[in-house]
Amino acid sequence: MLLTQLEYFDALARERHFGRAAASCFVTTSTMSEAVRKLEAELGVPLVNRGRSSFHDLTPEGELLLTHVR
């Protein structure tokens, strides 16, 4: 787990949108998405409920992680 992954996850939770979160971290949307996916893979749980290509909300596990990140 990298600190940047947690920073990106926090930005995503704050912005509630992959594109805006990526812009706030000065990275591309694909970089943001890949970092969150790697974090999910490492933890073994989904953190984000996704639509076709958009953020819907955080999962209960994502909400729990967010409290620890912040």
- Residue range 16-32: average pLDDT? 96
CATH class of 3-69: mainly alpha
pTM: 0.92
Given a contact cutoff of 8 angstroms between Cβ atoms, the answer to whether 9 and 36 are in contact is yes
Query: Hey, where are the domains in the chain?
Result: 3-69
Which of 3-12, 30-39, 53-62 shows the lowest mean pLDDT across its residues?
53-62
Given a contact cutoff of 8 angstroms between Cβ atoms, the answer to whether 48 and 40 are in contact is yes
